[in-house]
Amino acid sequence: MIKLILTRLAQAVPVMLIVAILTFVLMKLLPGDPAVLLAGEGADLDKVDALRRELGLDRPLLIQLGSWLADLARFDLGRSLFLNQPVAEAIVERLPVTLSLAMVAFVMTIPIGIIMGMVAAYWRDSWVDTAVMSLALVGVSVPNFWLAILAIILFSVTLGWLPSAGYVPIDEGLWLWLRSLIMPAAVLALFQIGYLARMTRSEMLEVMDQDYVRTARAKGVSELRTVAKHAFRNALVSVLTVSGYIFSLLVGGSVVIEQIFALPGIGRLLVQAIMARDIPVVQGTMLFLGFMFVAINVLVDIFYTVVDPRVRYD
């Protein structure tokens, strides 16, 4: 067990290194010279050159990559060109918003998605199955940015129940915090609910074809008990694996949702930085998110080994 966990951790290191190098290369390809951007329009060439030297942009690429990796090891992501603060600080400031949004959406997704999938599998091929699965299909087909606008029109403009934009930190009151997140989180969760419901259903159907389920039925265990205890328990393992993946997708999706609901999270930081060509921020944010996703994958895999002892890595 310990060995497995260590192996998995060791496998994550090269992936993280590649993520870092990819991010670096991607940003080097970005059009626009940070020195020119920073110096402002109409600045004279000497000033631009001086800035370029100061930023270390005149050095060979490999050296730049090396120093970027060395800075990374010290959690130094550089300074933003426009925000007048270190990138790491900007990210840490906005992290709670994104994590709150993703967490609330996650808490909605997991039970609803699993229950929908189980209900559909239990009443397989009946109208219940058709209805639930149609709903799930709509969930994975409707673009969430569009749904977000419709939701704002309905719940904020017409009914006036929920705020249309803005984030309230949790220490200003749990209810206010939740109120500011319910709508964005629900919109964000919809796709994943559909995805999880579809996945849970097919997983359940597969498990219900297994011998041990037939055995349970044959020995007279009630159908509900068969499904809940024998089938669901076994389907749960793969459903849980997907949930880590779903959390990553929720964080990724929050980039768009934060933009619409004006939530000051990492996604909004990223999109604004892209628009302003604030390269260090784009670089830092992408890298941070990439590392976070790798870490989530590792955690899920480790969890998986704990739940299902049959899992082995080569």
Q: Could you list the residues that contact other proteins (CB under 8 A)?
A: 14-15, 18-19, 22, 26-27, 29-31, 137-138, 140-143, 145-147, 149-150, 152-153, 157, 195, 199, 202, 206, 245, 248-249, 251-253, 255-256, 259-260, 270-271, 274-275, 282, 286, 289-290, 293-294, 297
Nearer Cβ to other proteins (55/286): 286
Query: Residues 169-187, buried b or exposed e (16+ Cβ, 10 A)?
Result: eeeeeeeebeebbbbbbbb
SS3 86: strand
Q: CA 205 → CA 151, 242, 307, distances in Å?
A: 34, 17, 21
Least separation in angstroms between CB 15 and other proteins:
5
Provide the Cα torsion 302, 303, 308, 312; round to 10°.
Answer: -10
The one-letter code for the residue type at 152 is I
Give the shortest CB-16-to-other proteins separation in angstroms: 8
Chain centroid to Cα 156, Å, comes to: 26
Q: Which is nearer to other proteins, 227 or 282 (CB)?
A: 282
What burial class does residue 116 get, using C-beta atoms within 10 Å of its C-beta: 0-12 exposed, 13-18 middle, 19+ buried? Answer: buried
Other CB atoms within a 10 A radius of the CB of residue 232 amount to 21
Shortest CB 138 distance to other proteins, Å: 7
Q: At what angle do helices 279-307 and 266-276 cross, to 10 degrees?
A: 150
In angstroms, what is the minimal distance from the CB of 222 to other proteins? 28
**Of the two residues 177 and 291, which places its CB atom closer to other proteins in the complex?**
291
Residue placing its CB nearer to other proteins in the complex, 45 or 157: 157
Shortest Cβ 252–other proteins spacing (Å): 3
User: Taking the complex as a whole, how short is the minimal distance between the CB of residue 191 and other proteins, in angstroms?
Assistant: 8
Q: Helix axis angle, 232-260 relative to 144-151, nearest 10°?
A: 70
Nearer to other proteins, 76 or 206 (CB): 206
